[in-house]
Structure 1
Amino acid sequence: MVSRGYKKRGVGVMGLRHVKNPILLARAMLEHGEDDLEANPRGVNSGDLDVPSAQGHTQLYGKAAEQLAQQYELELVDPSYFFTQRRWDEHVRALEREKKGQGQATWSATEYLPQGTCGAVALDQDGVICAATSTGGLTNKLTGRIGDTPAIGSGFWAEEWAEDGDPTGSSTWDR
């Protein structure tokens, strides 16, 4: 998820299986979204996706987002690239705990692994502020679940504003 303050525009991608760096796709959507009006015709099959550009899109999911990543020539990888034994072991242990708990979800602080949610805020030389967040998700949540991290305005947001204040520091805000 990426948000650019001066345009008050945010974009995001979710449910990706092949995009090596999803944050780069979100960035590309933000950068190209206002002027990327190239139109690709629909394929012969009615099920083909039509993702001509990022114009006007704020959030894309799954195959549509991956098709756009391919159009932007971003690196795509086999899903096995994202596999780690440590996360797999955590998944199996959590399933075993749930089985012992008769189907009720359990959580153990000693078994919990940080999930990799991270965020960044940047201010460029022109005073434009951007925010970005990314997450690896939570173990054993419902397939297809979308958490709060990618929700524009609740997981992240960047906005700029001008303040008409007293440079002496005697304004109401400074008291």
Structure 2
Amino acid sequence: MVLGSIMRSATKLSRSGIPPCCRRTFYSTDNKGRYYTKKHEWVSVDSGVGTIGISSYAQDALGEVVFVQLPEVGRTVAAGDECGALESVKAASEVYTPVSGTVTEKNDTVESTPSLINKSCYQEGWLFKVKLSSPEELQQLMNQTDYDKYLEESH
């Protein structure tokens, strides 16, 4: 019964005029509390610490990620700061932090195995964590619904 509902929704999406690259965001079931930037970074917050990564759209656009450079633990960052880099077989891209604070952790595993970003950009492929200094900055970011609309309108 649930599968039938999913298939009906997928059929509606395929006829909706939404480009295939953007449809996948509608299938996400683990998006509560995730906020996005227009540069396709995301942040989810738990107990004042934001976990940051890139969206499924971004990793798909980059292609196979082969190199990751992340900010060092202890570094203070401001929302919008460039704080890392990703390289793929197709392109290179800077990573910007969506929130201000102090880097508390970086994902060493993703630095040594960059393909995790392509396989699991929202779970194992997260990039770094920041202790938020200005939680009100989250209000400037897009929630999942707004991000989906942004993708639909701009890509």
TM-score range for the pair, normalised by the shorter chain length: under 0.3
TM-score by length of 2: 0.27
User: What TM-score, normalized by structure 1, do the two folds share?
Assistant: 0.25
Q: Choose between structure 1 and 2: higher helix proportion.
A: 2
